[in-house]
């Protein structure tokens, strides 16, 4: 990857997004982090001062059209353009662990808005800016649950399957503009979202829940956000210049084994 690229990371104040923002800035790139958590986002931008590149924070709920547009335009205004978009924002709220007949419609809508609609909205405004630059890269954070599923996550699983399908379509629509579109499918990763799920699953010992989930992965552990970030950097780089319309599992071997295998 050439130095000084302009990057926008949605949901970048925590977890995988935060690790990716730091990794991009560490390598000398200029990064805008869009998130609703102003405190964490501001702290991250301050941390960026110690890195080779730059991190700025843009407060935005990227599931809303006006704020997604604003996040892209503020990135372009700050850095002179946009080269890389990491659609990372995603939620899996506690009240979404339901079968469909017990799942509230508002919860379904909110998951779809954050996990899928935000990708559409950010791409809608990012693509024209990338075309102006002669190309770019869009990386969508899907999930192993977009490929296989588990019980009680109908909205989340559906949203991640949609992200994978959108990735393929965007790759075809914009290949002629030298815009590559790829997705990542993480397994269980040590993020605040996963820890919140662990605290719900086993309140008396969340770490035990994380360890049990880790043992389901052939590598015997859950992933670290930094490990996912390294794959994001690779996919955004010229080293991945012939990859588009594809997904990469970063899942400790989970999909290789298959959810049905013991």
CB 213 within 8 A of CB 5: no
Please say whether the dihedral angle defined by the alpha carbons of residues 127, 159, 225 and 175, taken in this order, is positive or negative: negative
CA gap 104, 107 in Å, rounded:
5
CA gap 84, 126 in Å, rounded:
9
Which of 97, 156, 174, 247 is flagged as catalytic? Answer: 156
Please say whether the dihedral angle defined by the alpha carbons of residues 144, 150, 154 and 155, taken in this order, is positive or negative: negative
Burial of 168 (C-beta count, 10 Å sphere; 0-12/13-18/19+): middle
Three-state DSSP at 54 gives strand
Question: Virtual CA dihedral for 169, 173, 174, 175, nearest 10 degrees?
Answer: 90
CA gap 59, 126 in Å, rounded:
17
Active site residue 247: no
176-202 residues labelled b (16+ CB within 10 A) or e (exposed): eeebbbbbbbbbbbbbebbeebbbeee
DSSP assigned state of 256: H
Residues with a known catalytic role: 156
């Amino acid at each position: 990857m050439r130095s000084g690229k302009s990057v926008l990371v949605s949901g970048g104040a925590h977890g995988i997004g935060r690790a990716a923002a730091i990794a991009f800035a560490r390598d000398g790139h200029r990064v805008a982090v869009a998130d609703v958590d102003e405190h964490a986002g501001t702290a991250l931008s301050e941390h960026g001062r110690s890195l080779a590149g730059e991190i700025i924070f843009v407060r935005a709920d990227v599931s809303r059209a006006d704020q997604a547009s604003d996040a892209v335009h503020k990135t372009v205004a700050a850095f002179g353009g946009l080269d890389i978009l990491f659609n990372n924002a995603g939620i899996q709220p506690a009240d979404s662990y339901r079968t469909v007949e017990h799942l509230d419609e508002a919860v379904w809508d909110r998951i779809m808005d954050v996990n899928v609609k935000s990708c559409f909205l950010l791409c809608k405004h990012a693509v024209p800016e990338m075309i102006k630059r002669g190309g770019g890269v869009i990386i969508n954070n899907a999930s192993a649950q977009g490929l296989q599923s588990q019980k009680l996550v109908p909205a989340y699983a559906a949203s991640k399957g949609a992200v994978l399908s959108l990735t393929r379509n965007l790759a075809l629509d914009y290949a002629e503009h030298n815009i590559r579109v790829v997705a990542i499918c993480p397994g269980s990763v040590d993020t605040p979202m996963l820890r919140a799920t662990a605290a719900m699953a086993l309140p008396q010992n969340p770490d035990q829940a994380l360890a049990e989930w880790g043992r389901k992965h052939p590598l015997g552990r859950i992933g670290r956000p930094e490990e996912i970030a390294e794959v994001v950097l690779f996919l955004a780089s010229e080293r991945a210049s012939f990859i588009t319309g594809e997904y990469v599992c970063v899942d400790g071997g989970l999909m290789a084994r298959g959810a049905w295998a013991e």
